Amino acid sequence: NAGVMQNPRHLVRRRGQEARLRCSPMKGHSHVYWYRQLPEEGLKFMVYLQKENIIDESGMPKERFSAEFPKEGPSILRIQQVVRGDSAAYFCASSPGGQNYGYTFGSGTRLTVV
Amino acid sequence: SQQGEEDPQALSIQEGENATMNCSYKTSINNLQWYRQNSGRGLVHLILIRSNEREKHSGRLRVTLDTSKKSSSLLITASRAADTASYFCATDAYNTRNNDMRFGAGTRLTVKP
């Protein structure tokens, strides 16, 4: 039973390009969460999704960032027209939902904008 | 916004000693969770404690929760060099139907051999 799979592990983009980060949740998990982490800092909540629905996007920047979790396939975090300040580690987590379960995290995607 | 805050920011101890990390939060919760992160890796879930629980154990880990003080502590007994990592607490928000968690900045624990 594979855990949460994130790809790519490392992503380099030039300023102005688009970045697409993928997350496949654990089997049986229908809830996905995206977090961003800067070096030596904690995780900042970005967005919480269930299949085909965005439940909470209060942590998402209003512009350039979007997320989806389609009926089939992985969840995608999309960053358009990347800037240097977008450089960070982006972590995805999944859970079965409900208040009695912890999250299972992926290994993260390290985005570097040059 | 609802978010755990860990204390201290950094902790350095000798192997065999106990390590205690604290977490404070602002609003009522349904549950509080502790996670560990090794450098450059994803977070690993350690313990979940519900708001109606006061203490929970898992191996060398002991977590307490005091909802009246809105605080929790994580105790690692008989620490090992392999316990060197960052430790984060995470809380949900009681008054929403969402169970998305908010994380603090973490405590960086160094266990010297």
Chain segment A68-98, per-residue pLDDT in tens: 999 999 999 999 999 999 999 999 999 998 7
pLDDT grade for B1, boundaries at 50, 70 and 90: very low
Q: Which of A76-90, B24-38, B89-103 has the highest mean pLDDT?
A: A76-90
pLDDT grade for B95, boundaries at 50, 70 and 90: low
Q: Dig out the tokens for B45 from the structure.
A: 């879930």
Q: Dig out the tokens for A103 from the structure.
A: 């999250």
| The pLDDT of residue A31 is above 60 | yes
Rounded Cα distance between A104 and B108, Å, is: 21
What is the residue-averaged pLDDT of chain A?
A: 93
Among A12-16, A46-50, B95-99, name the one with the lowest average pLDDT: B95-99
Identify which of B41, B50, B101 has the shortest CB distance to residue A103. Answer: B101
pLDDT grade for B97, boundaries at 50, 70 and 90: low
Contact B99 A43 (CB under 8 A): no
Contact A105 B30 (CB under 8 A): no
Reported for B95-98, long-range contacts at CB under 8 A and 24+ positions apart, including other chains, are B95/B27, B95/B28, B98/A48, B98/A55, B98/A56
Length of chain A, in residues: 114
**Residues B2-24 pLDDT 10s:** 567 888 999 999 999 999 999 99
Buried/exposed A47-60: b ≥16 CB within 10 Å, e otherwise: bbbeeeeebbbebb
Q: From chain B, which residues contact A within 8 Å (Cβ)?
A: 30-31, 33, 35, 41-45, 48, 50, 88, 90, 92, 98-106
Query: Does A33 contact chain B (CB < 8 Å)?
Result: yes
pLDDT > 90 fraction of chain B, expressed in percent and rounded:
73
Among B49-53, B71-75, B93-97, B103-107, name the one with the lowest average pLDDT: B93-97
Instruction: Count chain A–chain B contacts defined by CB atoms under 8 A.
Output: 61
